[in-house]
Amino acid sequence: MVVWWHALLTALWGGLMALERRAFLQAMVSRPLVAGAGTGFLLDDVVTGLYVGVVFELLHLGGVSLGGSHAHHETLPAVAAAAMASAMGHASGSEGTPAMWSLSILLFAPSGWVGRRLELRLDLRAAKYVGRARDATNVQEFRRAARQNLRAMWPQFVFYGVLSGFACVLGYALAPLEREIPLGVLRGLAWAYPAMSVVAAAIAVQGSRARGRSLIAGISALVVSVVAFVVWYRSAS
């Protein structure tokens, strides 16, 4: 059964993170690790939020928007996947498992591309309010100028919030199906999480020019793999 206030909290958090990422503050609270952990905290499963968030943090560590080039949206997949995994765990009467983490990451990894496409569309819409705000400022109508800013921002909050809340609802809906998955497949999904972590750690240093970057990538992958294995082992025992 869906806990609707969980979905509402996730929607509000996802919308705020989308705004923090581009529209205001920009204190890196919307980075995947923090946004994912925050999602887990709201849904009473911080561990799931952290372990889902760290994969997306590594995957998008080198992503940056420069000029007209926009990186994939790193916040949406982190919040959505953490919400789905946490909701699945909550519906099962426990915390999220590595198998749930993997399933959620696989399902929502492409949402980074979706988020970027949506963001480009919303940016085009917001551009028309820039001139209106400038005109209002020129005649010292500052309240009207502030309203243009709010009109430009609200779709970011609404659309990304709805997508995040949907991910939470989807987690509750898929929980009964997850329990029907054969044990061998669940073990495979559980072991897929360390594999994803290894790949993410390698991608994180791929563009680095630091000396010994291959060694850094190997050590990072090893550390992440060991930590992920310990978490999986404790959840299985």
- Please report, in tens digits, the pLDDT of each residue of the chain (237 residues total): 778 999 999 999 999 999 998 877 778 899 999 999 999 999 999 999 999 999 999 888 755 554 445 678 899 999 999 999 999 999 988 889 999 999 999 999 999 899 889 988 888 887 777 777 777 777 777 777 777 777 778 888 999 999 999 999 999 999 998 888 888 888 888 888 877 877 776 776 665 555 665 666 566 666 666 666 665 566 555
Rounded distance, CA 180 to CA 26, Å? 42
Q: Which amino acid is at 131?
A: G
- Dihedral of alpha carbons 112, 156, 100, 179, sign: negative
Q: Which residues contact 71 (CB under 8 A, 6 or more apart)?
A: 60, 63, 64, 65, 116
Rounded distance, CA 54 to CA 38, Å? 12
Domain extent listing, the chain: 4-182
Tokens of 98: 């590595």
